Amino acid sequence: MSNILRRREVHSVVVGGQRSQAITNEVPIIDVGRFFAGVPGALDEVAQQIHKACTEIGFFYIVNHGVSQPVIRRVFEAMENFFTLPASEKFKVRMNEHQAGWQAPNVAIHGDSFDKVVKPQATEAFKFGPELDPADPDFQGSKRFRGHNQWPEGLSVEDKQAFLTYHAQFNELAKRLLAAVTVALGSVPNFFDDAFRRTDSVMRCAYYPVVKPQENQFGLPGHTDLSFLTLIPPATAPGLQILTAAGTWIDQPIVEGGILVNTGDALRTWSNDQFIATPHRVLASTKEERYSAIFFLYPDLDVTISCVPTCWSADYPKKYTDQKFSDFYAGYAARNFGYAEKKA
């Protein structure tokens, strides 16, 4: 077992334990097992819990989700192998305008931050999306954000496969939640099916080194996600904080076997602000390094974000004009990832 896997186990908290029980009054735990098994009534039960979570705090845990724990453990090994590659090797696949590749340390300042940020993040990241089949019309094409993965030569075939397997399993898990999300919004279970039939979802592998943080420097400053949903298994060390509706930053509770889910700007916009997108951040650590594997569920780039019919009325009109997700994505990238945008 690698060092980072040992550190992940240290920070697990058993569901129902004293600490978990106290903290999850803020971040609810939703058991999706019966819903995924097709038990009658379970869809509505989960939808009610999601509605409460996404209107009050914007975060919730799912348990009994069916994702293979060995797949999660293996991706942390692959991340460790990636981030310990020589910088010269990673530089060859540095982040491009498609948001694919390596984000070097000390280059990124998050433009949409809820914190006062004047120092670049010491964090490294590696991002990729689904691999395209050579028969796909967009294979090696020019469509922005699609099919532009970059893999370093020093990364083993096994590690690359671990990344892609993780992406595939989390993509399917996230899509299984769509029916409950739409029912939570008062719509029909299949409302989002077409929008997510082909997803352009992204995985962000993140490495947070031990630093002596200066004033207004964070591992990742307070921000909301671009995504429809974000899925996060436990990281190797603490650090993630969530901003509650009361304006208080709380530490992320860690639930053994659970996956943390939060709503992002795409779902907030689609729902006409019925569901919130909650700011969250990662503190810079002076004690221990941290690895995190974040999955962002994105719809098809060509889909138009148009208000869910059940989320507006004469008394609550639409707040947003219709917009293609590819344009929504490009705007977010321009505001927050200037270091990559300059290569366009």
- Please report the DSSP string for 97-134 in residue order: TTS-EEE-TT----TT-SS---S----EEEEE-PPPPT
C-alpha distance from residue 45 to each of 36, 48, 183 (Å): 12, 5, 10
Q: Residue 164 is encoded by which pair of tokens?
A: 């892609």
What's the mean pLDDT in 141-155? 90
In this predicted structure, the answer to whether residue 244 has a pLDDT above a threshold of 50 is yes
Per-residue CA distances from 313 to 180, 266, 307, 308 (Å):
22, 20, 11, 11
Query: 3-class SS at 333?
Result: helix
pLDDT digits (tens, 9 = 90+) for 291-338: 999 999 999 999 999 999 999 999 999 999 999 999 999 998 888 776
Percent above pLDDT 70 for the chain: 85
| Count of beta carbons in the 10 Å neighbourhood of residue 316 | 11
Higher-confidence position of 49 and 104: 49
Are the C-beta atoms of 5 and 71 separated by less than 8 Å? Answer: no
3-state secondary structure of 253: coil
Contacts of 144 (CB under 8 A, 6+ apart): 97, 98, 301, 326, 330
Hey, which of 72-81, 135-144, 214-223, 331-340 has the most confident mean pLDDT? 72-81
Superfamily holding 3-341:
B-lactam Antibiotic, Isopenicillin N Synthase; Chain (2.60.120.330)
Question: How much is the average pLDDT of 106-122?
Answer: 60
Average pLDDT, the chain: 87
List the domain boundaries for the chain: 3-341
Q: How confident is the model at residue 97 (pLDDT cuts 50, 70, 90)?
A: confident
Q: What confidence tier does 211 reach under pLDDT thresholds 50, 70, 90?
A: confident
For 182-194, the pLDDT digits (tens) are 999 999 999 999 9
What is the distance between the alpha carbons of residues 334 and 344, in angstroms, rounded to a whole number?
11
pLDDT at 246: 85
User: pTM here?
Assistant: 0.89
Average pLDDT of the residues in 92-103: 91
